[in-house]
Amino acid sequence: MIIGGGTTVLRALRNDWFTLVFFSSLTVTAEYIAEYVNVHLPLKHTSFPSLPLGVLITPMSIFLAFQINQCYDRWWEARKLWGQLVNVSRSLGRQITTLLTDKRFSSIHDEKEAAKFHQELVYRHLAYVNTLRIALRSGGKLSEKDWPLLAPLLSDAEIIELKDAINVPTQLLQKQGEVLSKLIGKDWGEQQVLLQLDSSINLLCDIQGGCERIKRTAFPDRFNFHTRIFVWLLAILIPFSLIESEQHFDVVAMVTETLLSFIFVTIERLGAELRDPFENRINDTPMSTLCRTIEIDLRQQLGEDSIPPPLKPIKGVLM
Neighbours of 26 (CB within 10 A): 18
Decide: 181 and 136 in contact? Cβ < 8 Å: no
**pLDDT tens for each residue of 225-242:** 777 888 888 888 877 776
Query: In whole angstroms, what is the distance from residue 107 CA to residue 111 CA?
Result: 12
The contacts of residue 77 (CB under 8 Å, 6+ apart) are: 210, 214
149, 119, 156: which is closest to 132 by C-alpha?
149
- The more confidently predicted of residues 68 and 161 is 161
Task: Specify whether the backbone of 315 is left (phi greater than 0), alpha (psi in -120 to 50) or beta.
Answer: left
51-55, 205-209, 232-236, 278-282: the lowest-pLDDT one: 51-55
This prediction's pTM: 0.84
**pLDDT tens for each residue of 90-103:** 999 999 998 887 77
Query: Predicted confidence band at 44 (pLDDT cuts at 50, 70, 90)?
Result: very low
**pLDDT tens for each residue of 259-292:** 888 888 888 888 778 888 888 888 888 999 999 9
Backbone angles phi, psi at 206, to 5 degrees: -65, -45
Mean pLDDT to the nearest integer, 169-181: 92
Mean pLDDT to the nearest integer, 58-78: 84
